[in-house]
C-alpha cells in the first residue's frame, strides 16, 4: 500500500491537548473535495456578498466532518505474536460456529466509527476476490448476504491454517478499498488493510479449534487495539 495521509487537527474544548490524526480523503476520494469546493464556490458567487463569512465557516465545517469520516487513527500494538486484534472499529453483532471447524464473527461499523480495516494477524494473502452485489443494510443478515464485498483469504503460519476477512458494503457505503489484493502480499498485524467508505461490516472466518476467542456478541471493539483471540497453536 502506498499513500500519504494528510494530517489535520481536532481541538476539543475543555481538553488541554490537540489530537492529531491522518485522513485518506485526498488519497481515496479527492473528487469529494473538488465537488465540495466547486459547490461552495458557486454559492459564494451567488450570495457571497451577503453571507460570505457564514459560507466559509460552513464549508470548513463540512470539509472537517468528511475528513473525520476518512480518519486513520494512530494505533500501535505491541502484543505477543499469538494474539489476534480486531480488524476494525465497531460492534460484534454475531459469533456463530457455521460448521465443525469454522467460526464466523461479524462486526458492524456505524457511521461514527473509523472506516479503516487493519490486518488482524500476520500472514500471506492467498486470494482476494471482489463480488459485485447489492447495498442492503449490513446488519440485516438475510439481505446483506447479497451485498457487494471483497473476500480475502490469508494463510497464517502461526496456526498453519487459513482465515478469511470479508469487507462488506452497506446501504450507505458504496465503495470498498483493499490494499492486500494480490496473491502472496505480506500481511503484518496492525498494518492498514483497506477501508469501507462510510462504514458497513467486516466478517472474519477463523478455525475455532486453533484460535481461542476472547470476545462476545455485543462487545464493542477497537481496530488494531482490542484483542479478539488467542492462537492456540503457536
Task: Cite the active site residues.
Answer: 200
Q: Do residues 207 and 102 make contact, with C-beta atoms less than 8 angstroms apart?
A: yes
- Rounded to whole angstroms, the Cα distance separating 153 from 129 reads 9
- Rounded to whole angstroms, the Cα distance separating 227 from 221 reads 8
CA nearest to 180, candidates 206, 170, 73, 190 = 190
What DSSP letter does each residue of the chain carry, written as one string? Answer: ----PEEEEEE-TT-SSEEEEEE-HHHH-HHHHHHHHHHHHHHHHHHHHHHHHHHHHHHHHHHHHHHHHTEE--------TTEEE-SSSEEEEEEEE-SSSEEEEEEEE-TTS--EEE-SS-EEEEEEEEE--B---TT-HHHHTTB-EEEEEEEETTTTEEEEEEEE--SS---EEES--STT-EE-TTSEEEEETT-EEEEEEEETTTEEE---TT-EE-TTTSEEEEES--
Amino acid at each position: 500500500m502506498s499513500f500519504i495521509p494528510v494530517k489535520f487537527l481536532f481541538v476539543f474544548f475543555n481538553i488541554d491537548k490537540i489530537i492529531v490524526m491522518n485522513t485518506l480523503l485526498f488519497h481515496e476520494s479527492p473528487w469529494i473535495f473538488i465537488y465540495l469546493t466547486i459547490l461552495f464556490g458557486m454559492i459564494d458567487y451567488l450570495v457571497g456578498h451577503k453571507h460570505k463569512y457564514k459560507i466559509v465557516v460552513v464549508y470548513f465545517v463540512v470539509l472537517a466532518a468528511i475528513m473525520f469520516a476518512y480518519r486513520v487513527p494512530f494505533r500501535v500494538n505491541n502484543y505477543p505474536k499469538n494474539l489476534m486484534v480486531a480488524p476494525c472499529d465497531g460492534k460484534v453483532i454475531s459469533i456463530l460456529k457455521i460448521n465443525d471447524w469454522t467460526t464466523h464473527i461479524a462486526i458492524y461499523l456505524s457511521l461514527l466509527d473509523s472506516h479503516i480495516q487493519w490486518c488482524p494477524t500476520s500472514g500471506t494473502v492467498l486470494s482476494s476476490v471482489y463480488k459485485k452485489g447489492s447495498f442492503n443494510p449490513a446488519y440485516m443478515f438475510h439481505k446483506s448476504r447479497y451485498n457487494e464485498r471483497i473476500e480475502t483469504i490469508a494463510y497464517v503460519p502461526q496456526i498453519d491454517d487459513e482465515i478469511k476477512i470479508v469487507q462488506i458494503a452497506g446501504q450507505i457505503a458504496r465503495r470498498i478499498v483493499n490494499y492486500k489484493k494480490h496473491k502472496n502480499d505480506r500481511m503484518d498485524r496492525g498494518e492498514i488493510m483497506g477501508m469501507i467508505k462510510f462504514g458497513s461490516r467486516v466478517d472474519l472466518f477463523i478455525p475455532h479449534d486453533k484460535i481461542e476467542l476472547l470476545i462476545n456478541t455485543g462487545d464493542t471493539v477497537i481496530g488494531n487495539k482490542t484483542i479478539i483471540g488467542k492462537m492456540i497453536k503457536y
